[in-house]
Amino acid sequence: MKSSKLTLFLNLLLEEEDFHKTSYYAEKLMVSSKTISNYINDLRYYMRNHQVALISRHGVGIRLEGSMEERAKLREAIQQDLDETPTSKNRQHKILEKLLMKDECVSVRRLSDAYCVSSTSIVKDLEKIEQHLSQQDLYLQRDKSGTRIIGKEQRIRSAKRKFIFNELMALSQQDKVIDRKTCQAILSRYVDEESQNISRQMIQMAQDKLNFHLDTNYYNQIFVTYAIFISRIRKGYGITEAPARPVVTELHILKTYPITEEITQWLKDAHGITMNDRDIRWVNARIAGVYHEDQKAKDGYSPIVQDIVNELITSIGDIFSVDFMSDELLKTGLSNHFVPMIARLKNNIKITNPFLLQIKQQFTAMFSVISLASSVLEKKLGYTLSDDEIGFILIHFQAALERHNLSKKIAIVYNCNLANALLIENQIKINLPTFDVIELINIQDLKEKYLHDFDFIISTMEVSTDLPSVVISPLADSNDIQKIKQTYDKLIRDVKESRFYSLLQAISSDTILVKQKCKSKEEILKTANDILRKKGYITEDFYQSVLNREKISSTEIGNGIAIPHGLDTFVNHTAIVLITLEEPILWKEDMVRVIFFTAVSFEQKEIMKKLLKDLYHLISANEFIEQISAAETCEEVLGLLYGKRLSK
C-alpha cells in the first residue's frame, strides 16, 4: 500500500477518459498485471467514502467515473494516507503484538479500519506474520470469530520471551544500557505488576536457597521468562504435553529440583497458583539453566553442613579410590543442597524426585553406595533420608564420577521385543563396569539429538552417529559381547589419551594460530572469521553477529581468555579457532592472551553441551592456560589438549 506507484496508477486513471485493459497500466508502470489488480483492490477501499467508481467491462478494460470534485477528494485522501500510515513492516509488528503479546483474536475488517488500509493489505500482513510464527512452530487459526495464535504452550512462552528481548535488542543497538529498569518497563506493556512481583520473589528464593547470584543479563532473562509464565498460568494456560527423554538427558537439571518444589509449594500457599508436573519440570529447567556451581564452597556454611559434606565425600571417594575432596564442584553442590535439605527434614517437608524409579534402576550400584553412606548422615542429623532425598544426593556424585572419567553412559538401541532387550541389557551389565549407566531406547522413540548425551552406543541395527558404536544381533551372543568389549576398551583408551575429547572434535591444526602479533581485537576477530568462512563453516553474516555480541557484552572472561562467538543461525559446522598472542592486548576491560573464536551449531545441542563443558574445564585451569599460551607450535597445543605436558 505504501507505494508511490499507487499514486501514479491513480493519476493515470484520472487522466484517461477511455477504457483500458490492466495490461496497459502494467506496461506504463512497469509492474505485473497482478500488481495492478492489487492496486485496484486498494483503490476500491478508498472509493467507499467517495462518489467515485471504478467501472470494469469484460474484454474492454477499466475506467474511473465521478465528478472532478470527488476525484480530487479521493486523490487527497490517498495521498494523506500514504504520508501518515505506518509502513507495512511496522504494521505487521503491531498486529503480531496484538496476537502474541496481548493474546487478542483479531479480524481483518477491524484491522483494516484501524490502520486505514485495504483488507488485501491486512491479509498479506497476516500471511507474513504466519511465516514468521511458523519458524517457532506457531500458527494462525482462522474462524468466524477472527484470527488467533495456536501452538504448544511452551512454544508460545518462548515466542513471547523472544518478542520482548527483540525489543530490548532494538534499544541496545541505540547504545542504551539494558538494565533491570529498562527490562521491567518493556515487560510492563504485556505483563501485570503482580506477576512481575511473583517472578522476582521466585528468583530471590532460588538465589537464597541455592546460594548463587545472577548477573544482570541472566537476571533479566529469567525475570522475563518467569513473569510470562506466571501471567499465563494465572490465565489457565499450562503445558499439556512434553516429549519423553532419556533419563541421562534430564539428570543434570535435577540438582535444583528440590528448591523448585519448595517454590512450587510457596506459589500454591501464598498465591493460590497450582501447576501440573510438566510445568514444575519446566520451571526447574529454567532455574537449572542459570544455576552454576562455579565457585568454591563458602566458609559461611554451618559446621554441621561442612562436617556431613566432608564425611560423605570421603566415604564415597574411598569406595572409588578417588580424591573427591579436591572436587570443588562436588563440595559446592552438596553444600548448597544440604542447607535446604536439613531445613526440610526439620520441618517434615517431603519432596518428590520425578525420576526416582529410573534412577534406582539405572544407577543401582551408586544408589546402594549413597544409601549406605547416608547412614552416617542420618546418625549425625537425627533424621532418616527418604529415597527421594538420596536420589537427589546421588545426582551430585554421578556428575563427579563422570568428571573423573569413572562412569560411561551407554545407550542400547533396540528394534526387538522388550524381553530380548532386557536380556541384552543384562549381558552387557555383567560384562562392563558396575558404575556405568546403561539405558534402553526403543528405535521408535529414538531422536538423534538424544544420542549425544551418551558415550557409547550399542544397537541391534545401524544407527547414524559419530559416537563410538557397535551393531549386535538381538541375541547378544559371545561374538557380540567380544565386539562390545573391544570397542569399549578403545573408548576408555581414547578418553585417557585425550583430556578434551569434544573440544578436539572442533579444533584442528589449521584452526590454531600461535604467538600472533595482532594489535587489536578487531584484527583478531577478522583473522579468525576468515579462517572459518573460507572452510565453509560459517556464512558471511556470522562476522557481524560476532561484532554485535561484543557490543552487547564483551566476551573476555578473565584469566587472560576471551571466547568471542556469534549466532548459531549462521553456523554450518561447529568449529573453534584457537589463537595465542605474542603480547596480550586490552580486549575491553581486561588483558587477553588466549582467544577461542567459537562457532557452535545449536542444532547439535548435545555436542555443543559437551564442547562447552570441555571449554569450561579448560579455562578453569590456570596452569593449563599458561602452558597453551607458552606453546610455540600448533602441534604443541594439540599435544596439550591430548594430555601431554610441555617439556621444561
- Torsion (CA) 37, 43, 48, 52 in degrees, nearest 10: -100
Q: Do 144 and 161 fall into the same domain?
A: no
Tell the burial category of 308 from Cβ atoms under 10 Å away from its Cβ (0-12, 13-18, 19+): buried
- Burial call 537-555: b when 16+ CB within 10 Å, e when fewer: bbbeebbebbbeebeeebb
What is the spatial distance between Cα 532 and Cα 504, in angstroms, rounded to a whole number? 16
Q: Collect all residues with Cβ–Cβ distance below 8 Å to 570 and sequence separation of at least 6.
A: 538, 539, 540, 541, 542, 545
3 state SS of 421: helix
Report if residue 65 sits inside a domain: yes
What is the spatial distance between Cα 93 and Cα 626, in angstroms, rounded to a whole number? 50
Q: Do 585 and 479 fall into the same domain?
A: no
In the block, cell 496476537 appears at 99
What is the spatial distance between Cα 468 and Cα 488, in angstroms, rounded to a whole number? 8
What is the spatial distance between Cα 221 and Cα 168, in angstroms, rounded to a whole number? 11
Q: What is the CATH number of the domain that holds 120?
A: 1.10.10.10
The whole-number pLDDT of residue 523 equals: 93
Q: Do 507 and 637 fall into the same domain?
A: yes
What is the spatial distance between Cα 592 and Cα 589, in angstroms, rounded to a whole number? 9
Kindly state the cell numbers that stand for 610: 559437551
Work out the angle between the directed axes of helices 68-84 and 33-47 (0-180°, nearest 10): 110
The radius of gyration of the chain from alpha carbons, rounded to an integer in Å, stands at 31
Q: Collect all residues with Cβ–Cβ distance below 8 Å to 403 and sequence separation of at least 6.
A: 327, 329, 617
Q: Do 345 and 459 fall into the same domain?
A: no
Contact 478, 545 (CB under 8 A): no
Average pLDDT, 10 consecutive residues per value, the chain (648 residues) = 66 84 84 81 77 86 87 79 68 92 92 83 92 92 93 93 84 57 87 95 92 82 94 93 71 85 94 93 87 56 82 78 81 87 82 81 73 70 81 88 78 84 81 75 76 83 82 85 81 55 82 92 94 93 86 70 82 90 87 88 62 64 78 86 58
Q: What is the CATH number of the domain that holds 192?
A: 1.10.1790.10
In the block, cell 514468521 appears at 132
Phi-psi region for residue 596, left (φ > 0), alpha (ψ -120 to 50) or beta?
beta
Kindly state the cell numbers that stand for 182: 529498562
Q: What is the CATH number of the domain that holds 488?
A: 3.40.50.2300
Report if residue 296 sits inside a domain: no
Q: Do 215 and 189 fall into the same domain?
A: yes
The whole-number pLDDT of residue 646 equals: 46
Report if residue 648 sits inside a domain: no
What is the spatial distance between Cα 410 and Cα 83, in angstroms, rounded to a whole number? 66
Nearest to 243 by CA among 285, 305, 294, 214: 285
What is the spatial distance between Cα 169 and Cα 553, in angstroms, rounded to a whole number? 12
Q: Do 586 and 477 fall into the same domain?
A: no
Overall number of domains in the chain: 6
Report if residue 647 sits inside a domain: no
How many Cβ atoms from other residues are within 10 Å of residue 389's Cβ?
22
Paired sense of beta strands 456-459 and 512-516, if any? unpaired
- Torsion (CA) 372, 376, 382, 385 in degrees, nearest 10: -30
What is the spatial distance between Cα 380 and Cα 407, in angstroms, rounded to a whole number? 30
Helix (H) or strand (E) holding 515: strand 512-516
Q: Do 210 and 130 fall into the same domain?
A: no
Which residues, in sequence order, are bridge partners of residue 139? Answer: 150
Report if residue 646 sits inside a domain: no
Contact 403, 327 (CB under 8 A): yes
Q: In the sheet where 561-562 sits, what is the strand order?
A: 512-516, 575-586, 591-599, 561-562, 556-558
Contact 319, 435 (CB under 8 A): no
Q: Do 508 and 479 fall into the same domain?
A: no
Q: Collect all residues with Cβ–Cβ distance below 8 Å to 83 and sequence separation of at least 6.
A: none
Domain boundary residue, one of 290, 320, 348: 290
Contact 408, 438 (CB under 8 A): no
How many Cβ atoms from other residues are within 10 Å of residue 126's Cβ?
20
Hey, what amino acid is at 121? S
What is the spatial distance between Cα 207 and Cα 227, in angstroms, rounded to a whole number? 17
What is the spatial distance between Cα 372 and Cα 354, in angstroms, rounded to a whole number? 22
Kindly state the cell numbers that stand for 44: 476500491
Domain boundary residue, one of 357, 372, 403: 403
Structural domain of 449: 409-495
Q: What is the CATH number of the domain that holds 549?
A: 3.40.930.10
Q: What angle do CA 97, 101, 106 make, to 5 degrees?
A: 60
Q: Do 511 and 601 fall into the same domain?
A: yes
Q: Do 477 and 540 fall into the same domain?
A: no
Q: What angle do CA 176, 552, 571 make, to 5 degrees?
A: 140
Contact 169, 163 (CB under 8 A): no
Q: Collect all residues with Cβ–Cβ distance below 8 Å to 235 and sequence separation of at least 6.
A: 103
In the block, cell 538420596 appears at 390
Q: Do 175 and 258 fall into the same domain?
A: yes
Kindly state the cell numbers that stand for 595: 582467544
Report if residue 298 sits inside a domain: no
The DSSP call for residue 647 is P
What is the spatial distance between Cα 152 and Cα 431, in angstroms, rounded to a whole number? 44
The whole-number pLDDT of residue 569 equals: 80
Kindly state the cell numbers that stand for 555: 566476551
Domain boundary residue, one of 241, 264, 290: 290
Kindly state the cell numbers that stand for 287: 532455574
Query: Residue 55: phi, psi to the nearest 5?
Result: -90, 130
Q: If you write DSSP's letter for every residue of 364-377 in order, what string do you get? A: HHHHHHHHHHHHHH
Q: If you write DSSP's letter for every residue of 106-163 in order, what string do you get? A: B-HHHHHHHHT--HHHHHHHHHHHHHHHHTTT-EEEEETTEEEEES-HHHHHHHHHHH
Predicted structure pTM score: 0.56
Q: Do 246 and 144 fall into the same domain?
A: no
Report if residue 595 sits inside a domain: yes
Report if residue 37 sits inside a domain: yes
Q: What angle do CA 29, 31, 35 make, to 5 degrees?
A: 115
Contact 214, 222 (CB under 8 A): yes
Kindly state the cell numbers that stand for 38: 492489487
Which residues, in sequence order, are bridge partners of residue 438? Answer: 410
What is the spatial distance between Cα 164 and Cα 187, in angstroms, rounded to a whole number? 7
Paired sense of beta strands 469-471 and 456-459, if any? parallel
